Amino acid sequence: MIVILFGPPGAGKGTQAQRLEREKGLVQLSTGDMLRAAVAHGTEMGLKAKAKMEAGELVSDDIVIGIIRDRIAEDDCKNGFILDGFPRTVAQAEALDGMLKEQGLKLNAVVEMKVDDNALVDRIAGRYTCAKCNAGYHDTNLKPKVDGVCDECGSTEFKRRPDDNAETVAKRLEEYYAQTAPVLPYYAEKGVLRQVDGMASIDEVAKQIDAVLAA
């Protein structure tokens, strides 16, 4: 199964993608995570992406399309994958169509997670991840079961993203409405666009996504 989780920063795409990976064996493909890894390793691509990411702007289509093209050709994607944060422009959506076609694959659903802008800033301000395994947490909405210990791997080190500050979040939202929201009609026309209430609790959103994917 191939699914796109779609929505603004802070909508809960990563949280739900990680859950789908755990529960359904679909691989989470987060272009944001891949770009952050490239920045951390100081690769040529990372160097190109770094300034854009810090400014809350989109990285060039060529770079992210290249990353996804290489990644979906890998063996672990054969049983299906969840795209989290890609596509973010109409050009990326068109390129994805081409790649899927080349590989004889079909997009099952684009799940739009609908959220209020006001909630996004609070959600983003409170989020952090395990420094070792990248499991996502939140100061109030999703705490580890044991305070300060990652549920998944037991690590006690956590990190926050440098672009999760109020100014950069405002820019990321602006980019979402200018460049990413226009992708929605593209998928609506193809008849694959579905919606869930991203304002509901994590468990409720999970139920809604599962229902959409089972339909």
As a whole number of angstroms, the distance between CA 47 and CA 8 comes to 25
With tokens 């802070």, the residue in question is: 10
Sites for ligand AMP among residues 58-117 (CB under 6 A): 58-59, 64, 85-86, 88, 92
- Residue 176 binding ligand AMP, by CB under 6 A: no
Amino acid identity for residue 42 in this structure: G
Question: Which one from 127, 143, 145, 190 is the annotated catalytic residue?
Answer: 127
DSSP letter (8 states) at residue 142: B
As a whole number of angstroms, the distance between CA 77 and CA 39 comes to 23
Window 124-163: contact mask with ligand AMP (x via CB under 6 A): ----------------------------------------
Q: Which stretch binds ligand AMP (CB under 6 A): 21-29, 49-57, 97-105, 146-154?
A: 49-57
CB atoms < 10 A from the CB of 29, how many?
Answer: 23
- Residue 7 binding ligand AMP, by CB under 6 A: no
Residue 13 annotated to the active site: yes
Nearest Cα to Cα of residue 87 among 205, 161, 5, 18: 5
Residues in the chain: 215
How many chain residues are in contact with ligand AMP, going by CB under 6 A? 16
As a whole number of angstroms, the distance between CA 72 and CA 80 comes to 9
- Residue 53 binding ligand AMP, by CB under 6 A: yes
With tokens 């290489």, the residue in question is: 70
Residue 88 annotated to the active site: yes
Query: Which residue from 19, 127, 172, 194 is in contact with ligand AMP, where contact means CB under 6 A?
Result: 172
**Chain positions contacting ligand AMP, by CB under 6 A:** 9, 31-32, 35, 52-53, 56-59, 64, 85-86, 88, 92, 172
Q: Provide the annotated active-site residues.
A: 13, 88, 127, 161, 172
